[in-house]
Amino acid sequence: MLSAVPEADELLQAAEISAEAVCFARDLVNSPGNVVTPQTMEADALKMGQELPLEITIMDEAAMQDRGMNALLAVGQGSVNPSRLIALRYNGNGDAPYTAFVGKGITFDSGGVSIKPDDNMGEMKDDMTGAGAVLGAMRAIARLGLKCNVIGILACAENMPDGKAQRPGDIVRAANGKTIEVVSTDAEGRMVLADAVWYACQMGAKKVIDIATLTGAVIIALGNETSGIVANDDELVEQIKLAGRMAGENYWQLPSLPECKEAIKSDVADLLNSAGRAGGCITGGLFIGEFVDKDIPWAHLDIGGTSTASKTEGFKVKGGTAFGTMTLIKLAGML
């Protein structure tokens, strides 16, 4: 019997907490864009801060403007729903270094002026899966009382076309001072993450892991069962892959080729926000890496192919999968 196994009750409780966190994240992903907005993500984080040992920091648009977070702000400037940068700090291990989990939180992605085809646009409510995974993971980490120090950061915006929206050809200066030529307003996830990973470094993180439904290219490369990794640190990659195996989530590292880094250079700015279809998963990840401090281990998880399931198979329920939530929980337990 389970009750006869030492620590069985503790193990069962940990499993229940982790499962609840995944379901919490799935509910966020499955909710439509008129229900989940940057403001509701803020409210969820604040509520968690009242109930759990989490220190919450909310940056509204004025605060982001003061910090020069123009890349994130550019994405949301066409929406009536103001953008938010949300940080949740968990201290479970004294003076140990912090690891940051940074999630893309585009609560609805129309593509902006570079508008998407209408056939599947309704599915773009799931473009905040990365932020949902981070929020769910932070919920579990705090409830489990894991011995680690983690910062969760949610880069939340809605990407909509409007007279105030950013345009292809615009040049934006990000918080770290680098300029970005906007080739496509539909390459918005890497722009919100640019300022968010920079902020993670500013908050003192010594490792940074971002997670995002970043590209369709990752589906072409790896299908719908495996997520891609682009990183600057092989040891961190192996930790993530191990955590993924423990969580039942698959990852594959993609090569950070010098040619791909050359592809994101602009003639009129420091960087292009889109380098075209070739190697799109790699170039998207390398773009984000340009905003992480050079001495900090960093990994980008592209969950563009694994964020939703078309049918129910076992524990994988049709709809939002909250892929990455369990990986982050397991990884936090390894820190």
What is the per-residue DSSP string for 213-276? ---SHHHHHHTTSEEEEEES-HHHHHHHHHHHHHHT-EEEEPP--HHHHHHTB-SSSSEES---
The mean per-residue pLDDT over the stretch 220-249 comes to: 98
Q: pLDDT tens digit string along 134-150? A: 999 999 999 999 999 99
What pLDDT, on the 0 to 100 scale, is given for residue 251? 99
Q: Is the pTM of this model over 0.85?
A: yes
Percent of residues, the chain, with pLDDT higher than 70: 98
Provide the b/e sequence for 180-204 (b: ≥16 CB within 10 Å): bbbbebbbbbbbbbbbbbbbbbeee
Q: Half-sphere exposure (CA, 13 Å, Cβ side) for 236?
A: 20
pLDDT at 15 over 80: yes
What pLDDT, on the 0 to 100 scale, is given for residue 195? 99
Options 26, 89, 104, 190, the catalytic residue: 190
Q: Which superfamily is assigned to 6-334 in CATH?
A: Zn peptidases (3.40.630.10)
Q: In the numeric block, which tokens belong to residue 144?
A: 């489990």
Residue 84 catalytic? Answer: no
* Burial of 227: CB neighbours in 10 Å, binned 0-12, 13-18, 19+: buried
**Distance (Å, whole) CA 265 – CA 79:** 29
Options 116, 173, 178, 316, the catalytic residue: 116
pLDDT band of residue 110 (cuts 50, 70, 90) is very high
Q: pLDDT tens digit string along 43-79? A: 999 999 999 999 999 999 999 999 999 999 999 999 9
The mean per-residue pLDDT over the stretch 194-220 comes to: 98
**Distance (Å, whole) CA 40 – CA 260:** 37
CA 45 to chain centre: 15
**Distance (Å, whole) CA 282 – CA 262:** 12
Q: Where are the domains of the chain?
A: 6-334
pLDDT band of residue 8 (cuts 50, 70, 90) is confident
Mean pLDDT lowest among 164-178, 183-197, 216-230, 304-318: 304-318
Q: Among 170, 183, 174, which Cα is nearest to 276's?
A: 183
Residue 190 catalytic? Answer: yes
What pLDDT, on the 0 to 100 scale, is given for residue 143? 98
pLDDT band of residue 1 (cuts 50, 70, 90) is very low
